Structure 1
């Protein structure tokens, strides 16, 4: 590994509430009216700092005239989850790559990125003549008001790796970007009821799920988690509303503490799903809510304290894994695949106008971690921004939903996510490529392979299956995968990930195995279009 000194940028462009201004960077700083940009390079990193007295700043763009090789293959990250489109590409000048990118060549590779938890939303563009780093420092969709404070926007890291494979380059570079990951102390695995129930469940159903998980994991020293997904909260409405309040169950879930106690009595660790920012409690003042959609605004101290009390309530019942969902969408109004390339629309602002969107997101994640840590609970972030959550969450649901109905969705989302987010595993957090959704419409030959490759990857493993719906042979396959996942000693990696977005060859210290992911009948017609639309648009999960 060799540090690359990126040096001082050749041009800086600032977009403020007044418009665009650009100029040549000189003597390590650039002034625009009352605004100052300072770039401080050294041998191992480069920091970028912004200050402005009165002008609201939206975007800072830095350009370096550095030649990028055309014979390399480039892999970039995503804003939040993956959506089945990650992969290596040739040099594409119009491609934007959030947070970091790596390049792979015959004799090694290199990477450019920003250290985790920056104070700006950052993305890269590359072309044959140079690279551009765009730092989105908006507050909501308007310029941040710093009032003369100096804010370090990001620390740029660049590294070169000689005689390294693409996976080695990506893994080592992720380690360089994060030196303080928050990791579970044991492999995480278990069951989640979503992909067979889809929100239609009861306390009795979860008890049966718990019994089934206990049966399938019998003899495993490291005990599994049973995660209750959407459907337990008091205002839940199937295929309609999946928000809070989060402080009591509904008629189908009359006693959430009793349910957690039942799990523990069966030697199963209790887990629970929540959507902390969507809450129709009429007692919440309008000033605590975002003006764009009515979701809670974490930049408001009172709203953040309300959220903290929700977390204390759920953990106080006895749940020791908190899966929080939807926060990126609820904050910015866009899914990751719609952020092209900016994370939110212009024209709105947060309660606290002195912080950037990145600072607001980190404040939210940090409070979740602080409250769950009081109880020794794990944090699993879904629809979260991994680069801002590294060090603040134990696990990230790293891709969009798989399915218990359509294998094609699992193939597209799950396998792509597992392969291309694997370099972040144990370096940012544990990555969760989502469940093995077991249902009658999916051929077991596909889910058996999916279960095997997830278990062999050493990443968190969750399955969804209606209790006692599996044949004895299927149960034995699943029991074996759960056993492997509980130990976490196998670490298979994709070997053909530079040639395909759905790797088929996976290898570990025991050898190489090829999987067949594609249904020869092609994409199958779904006879339930309402349910299909709900799943694909993430309405329900």
Structure 2
């Protein structure tokens, strides 16, 4: 599907300080150059000659159909909150937006290239579409100095079927995704939740996954999730902060030995870490006190040196897959659902005011990519996927599923798989999060989620409590895991009823319709749906 040539916007204005009035660029001392690209895009380039700049607004006047339905993306992960919705002019749609007319059967989309120099979102109203570019450095205005910033490259696509157009738009916005084979394996988070497990338990899980997939030529992963590092809770410090140089005494005395034991089971070792959280204030690179420790500032060279050293150490220990987590929360000061049109929280005072936060995060992801090496697999969680595309093999596109309440897995996992599936293979390998097998959740529901993910060819990790293993559960897992290692069902899957629900139950797979029954017999439980993904302290 060819992209449309992006026309010159009908309005351009800028904002100097984060709360200042909007002005014409010339009146604010800002040059906004709109440069058509050879492939139909429109590059937005900014120069300020030393004046501060916070945001840029571009608007295209365009008539919308009366029955228009709108679908945006997410700043980082979705939280069970993504769906087609009627026209709401005040809603921010991060990165990319689709407009669909059911009556006309037509869809068009707009977006910005991945690894942009700004945080970009769209708003849509009955008079047109607006693009808002946040170029702040932390919560303050950026000072670009004498350099020119490419804040975004804008692209439009047009077509018919909304799922196809969504995929075409994703492909237009990312020309260099990192190729990866099937990502499948074990992760103990949703039955252990970081507690009461040790190296032996991790190796047992690796043995379980190896037994389930048998002699499949594509080997699965065994991931050591949160809980392996030194526990600082006795001192009032978070259990999941750095430094990331040793394991928890007693349970994980030698992390290289753990990796070797996982590999000995015929499983590829993987590990989780939280790169921007430290247990105490560092000598350099501290951003602010945070969750009992310190958040690190990714704009500071000392932070990047620390993170690169951590990743190299983890790779030297023998871990092929590195899952890095929480960095958006640390760097921006808030979770996705509270971001709205202001993705960076107030009071985020960064070291480097000459680069936008978007540029800083892209550099941060690039440092992790380089330290992991070309043969390392990087999985981003709570990572800004639009800025990390091309620098990670895989991205957790939704918030946590749950080994405690099925309703959360239905609300969050099914939703993110449906509404971000079009990014799979075009941005990265989509990870809708783990499928649990736990005493607290209904295997009849979990196995449906397992089946859908396996058919989709997206990332499939399972959290299997040993207490739940039965002949039936093992058989279900073996079939699904082997299908996922094959790359999924031929042609993958696509949601069929996604225009009308946030958790589609009808899916096309192998030229037939597959029905899933997501709801419990007594319907959805709004209390369970909002419960925390992990037990309270």
TM-score, structure 1 as length reference: 0.93
Show CA shifts across 1:408-460 (max 9, x none).
00000000000001000000000000001111121111011010001001101
Segments of structure 2 that go 5 or more residues without pairing to the other structure are: none
What is the Cα deviation at residue 7 of structure 1?
2.1
Contact conserved, 1:95 with 1:125, CA < 8 A, in 2?
A: yes
What is the Cα deviation at residue 363 of structure 1?
0.7
- Measure, in 2, the Cα distance between the counterparts of 1:21 and 1:341: 15
Alignment of 1:79-478 (within 5 A): 79-105=75-101, 106-161=104-159, 164-184=160-180, 186-200=181-195, 201-237=197-233, 240-251=238-249, 252-281=251-280, 284-285=282-283, 287-291=284-288, 293=290, 294-373=294-373, 376-467=375-466, 469-478=468-477
Specify whether residues 446 and 173 from structure 1 end up closer, same or farther in structure 2 by C-alpha distance, changes over 3 A only.
Answer: same
What is the Cα deviation at residue 244 of structure 1?
1.5
Show CA shifts across 1:31-84 (max 9, x none).
234321112236711111111122211111112222222323221101110000
What is the Cα deviation at residue 484 of structure 1?
0.5
What is the Cα deviation at residue 104 of structure 1?
2.4
Give me the CA root mean square deviation: 2.1
What is the Cα deviation at residue 22 of structure 1?
2.3
- Measure, in 2, the Cα distance between the counterparts of 1:71 and 1:128: 10
What is the Cα deviation at residue 502 of structure 1?
0.6
Show CA shifts across 1:311-334 (max 9, x none).
011110000000000010011111
Say whether residues 1:38 and 2:33 are aligned partners: yes
Where 2:131 maps in the other structure, the secondary structure is strand
Contact conserved, 2:274 with 2:327, CA < 8 A, in 1?
A: yes
Contact conserved, 2:333 with 2:348, CA < 8 A, in 1?
A: no
- Measure, in 2, the Cα distance between the counterparts of 1:507 and 1:351: 49
Specify whether residues 151 and 525 from structure 1 end up closer, same or farther in structure 2 by C-alpha distance, changes over 3 A only.
Answer: closer
- Measure, in 2, the Cα distance between the counterparts of 1:4 and 1:413: 33
Where 1:440 maps in the other structure, the secondary structure is coil
Q: Which residue of 2 aligns with 1:518?
A: 519
- Measure, in 2, the Cα distance between the counterparts of 1:124 and 1:314: 39
Where 1:49 maps in the other structure, the secondary structure is strand
Specify whether residues 59 and 524 from structure 1 end up closer, same or farther in structure 2 by C-alpha distance, changes over 3 A only.
Answer: closer
What is the Cα deviation at residue 181 of structure 1?
0.4
Segments of structure 1 that go 5 or more residues without pairing to the other structure are: 24-29
- Measure, in 2, the Cα distance between the counterparts of 1:409 and 1:334: 21
- Measure, in 1, the Cα distance between the counterparts of 2:271 and 2:27: 49
Contact conserved, 2:231 with 2:238, CA < 8 A, in 1?
A: no
What is the Cα deviation at residue 350 of structure 1?
1.4
> In the comparison of the two structures, how many residue pairs are matched?
524
- Higher mean alpha-carbon deviation, 73-82 vs 14-23, is at 14-23
Say whether residues 1:498 and 2:496 are aligned partners: no
Contact conserved, 1:108 with 1:169, CA < 8 A, in 2?
A: no
Specify whether residues 472 and 417 from structure 1 end up closer, same or farther in structure 2 by C-alpha distance, changes over 3 A only.
Answer: same
- Measure, in 2, the Cα distance between the counterparts of 1:3 and 1:395: 26
Contact conserved, 1:196 with 1:464, CA < 8 A, in 2?
A: yes
What is the Cα deviation at residue 240 of structure 1?
4.8
Contact conserved, 1:70 with 1:91, CA < 8 A, in 2?
A: no
What is the Cα deviation at residue 533 of structure 1?
4.2
Contact conserved, 1:245 with 1:281, CA < 8 A, in 2?
A: no
What is the Cα deviation at residue 522 of structure 1?
3.7
Specify whether residues 236 and 426 from structure 1 end up closer, same or farther in structure 2 by C-alpha distance, changes over 3 A only.
Answer: farther
- Measure, in 2, the Cα distance between the counterparts of 1:245 and 1:138: 29
Say whether residues 1:70 and 2:71 are aligned partners: no
- Measure, in 1, the Cα distance between the counterparts of 2:36 and 2:527: 55
- Measure, in 2, the Cα distance between the counterparts of 1:230 and 1:451: 23
- Measure, in 1, the Cα distance between the counterparts of 2:365 and 2:521: 43
- Measure, in 1, the Cα distance between the counterparts of 2:527 and 2:468: 22
Q: Which residue of 1 aligns with 2:51?
A: 55
Where 1:215 maps in the other structure, the secondary structure is helix
Contact conserved, 1:56 with 1:143, CA < 8 A, in 2?
A: yes
- Higher mean alpha-carbon deviation, 147-156 vs 397-406, is at 147-156
Contact conserved, 1:208 with 1:467, CA < 8 A, in 2?
A: no
Where 2:503 maps in the other structure, the secondary structure is coil
Contact conserved, 2:406 with 2:441, CA < 8 A, in 1?
A: yes
